Amino acid sequence: MPKLSKIVFLMAAMVVAFAARPAFAVVEIDINKANVEPLPIAITDFQSNDDIGAKVSGVVEADLKRSGLFAPVNRAAFIEKIANPDQTPRFPDWTAINAQALVTGRVVQEADGRLRAEYRLWDTFANQQLSGEQFFTRPENWRRVAHIIADAIYERLTGEKGYFDSRVVFVSETGPKNNRQKQLAIMDQDGANARMLTSGNDIVLTPRFSPNRQEITYMSFEGGQPRVYLLQLETGQRELVGNFPGMTFSPRFSPDGQRIVMSLQEGGNANIYAMDLRSRATTRLTDTAAIDTSPSYSPDSQQIVFESDRGGRQQLYKMNADGSGQQRISFGDGSYSTPVWSPRGDLIAFTKQSGGKFSIGVMRPDGSGERILTTGFHNEGPTWAPNGRVLMFFRQPAGAGGPQIYSIDLTGYNEQQVQTPGYASDPAWSPLLE
């Protein structure tokens, strides 16, 4: 993370909560229902001496709307114009336009140059404040403060952590198909602040975030050889994990960030290996004549899910972290690949190829409860939001010049494209920033 962003963490940790009467909240979202009706919420322009207040509240509104759980009320319908966010709003003016929740706030530049951003969340039907906080940061970090506020509102009204203050690393693709340049890139989860991390001189694949948030692992064909690298996002320092004979695929961190699990090809087969990043010692976890790849740890580090064609075609298997207890968990029609364990531990996302189409789906860790979320010409590579409720993946429609990144929630109804500077593939979602 750049140092500028780090300042937000230091300052945001110094949260000052406004006094609010604890009371039963009439307004809340039951996210466990099969079909959740989006909650009507009014988000006013935050008060400020320039346009920064409106920009912050605009990002908050966009975050909440994109989640599919909130329906921001059109500002043209607002009756009361909030002049002082410290005053209790006229609740009947907001219930009249069916706003079940109301967000007010301000953004002020302090004498020392910092921004002070504050918000209040109101229950318009219960006539009470639900929460209120203020944050201090440097002016250039205003978008991150907006994401933090959106997360706070999301958590207060749903009861679970938000995911807006997070980033996504991906492969940015430019140029013609026969000479495609692939660069490692990073962006905020909403597609803003995209920047390149590598030059594009060499092909890069499968970037993955470390749980410590400051580091990613990826595969590069630098010098024509496939190698696994660690990249420190704050410093830009790059480190070669190791030189392995043959091909190396799909490196991914363990939940504690101390190990990498990956697939190493030897001859015509590939097996799963784990590497201790401190000692650089490797441990072989599978030993078959098949192709075992795409390993992913469970959040408690006790198990690994992976794909293997040992049964004739690609299917999903899981095993204990030491390689014991290998068992198949996918039994539907078609082929299964790119499994990734949810941060909540309750689901495994995957790519499924069947009937000439590619689908993104989820199943329980024992293989039961398979659900397809989206199907198309080519969908691949799911990655989980930090709260385990939303997935990103990449898609290339028939005839398209290149892939694009999309997001979809677990209902399968809230699907949307994530805007990137160009073509984009292989997204990997970070944990929440700190």
Q: How confident is the model at residue 32 (pLDDT cuts 50, 70, 90)?
A: low
How would you class 74 by CB atoms within 10 Å of its CB: exposed for 0-12, middle for 13-18, buried for 19 or more?
exposed
Provide the pLDDT for residue 260: 92
* pLDDT at res. 56: 97
30: tokens are 């039951």
Q: Does the structure show a pLDDT above 80 at 272?
A: yes
pLDDT tens by residue, 385-425: 999 999 999 999 888 889 999 999 998 989 999 999 999 99
CATH homologous superfamily for the domain 3-158? TolB, N-terminal domain (3.40.50.10070)
Largest CA distance in the chain: 73
Whether the per-residue pLDDT at 155 is higher than 60: the answer is yes
Closest alpha carbon to 350 in 342, 358, 340: 340
What are the residue boundaries of the structural domains of the chain, listed by start? 3-158, 167-429
Quick: pLDDT tens for 169-186: 999 998 887 888 899 999
What's residue 372's pLDDT? 96
Whole-number Å distance between alpha carbons of 365 and 304 = 10
φ/ψ of 276, rounded to 5, equals -80, 120
pLDDT at 398: 81
Distance of alpha carbon 183 from alpha carbon 170, whole angstroms: 8
Is the distance from CB of 328 to CB of 315 less than 8 angstroms? yes
- pLDDT for 225-237, tens place per residue? 788 889 999 888 9
Q: What is the CATH number of domain 167-429?
A: 2.120.10.30
pLDDT band, very low/low/confident/very high, at 244 (cuts 50, 70, 90): confident
**pLDDT tens readout for residues 316-362:** 999 999 999 999 999 988 999 999 999 999 999 999 999 889 999 99
Indicate the average pLDDT of the chain. 89
pTM: 0.90
CA distances from 140 to 41, 106, 114, 193, 368 (A): 27, 17, 10, 11, 47
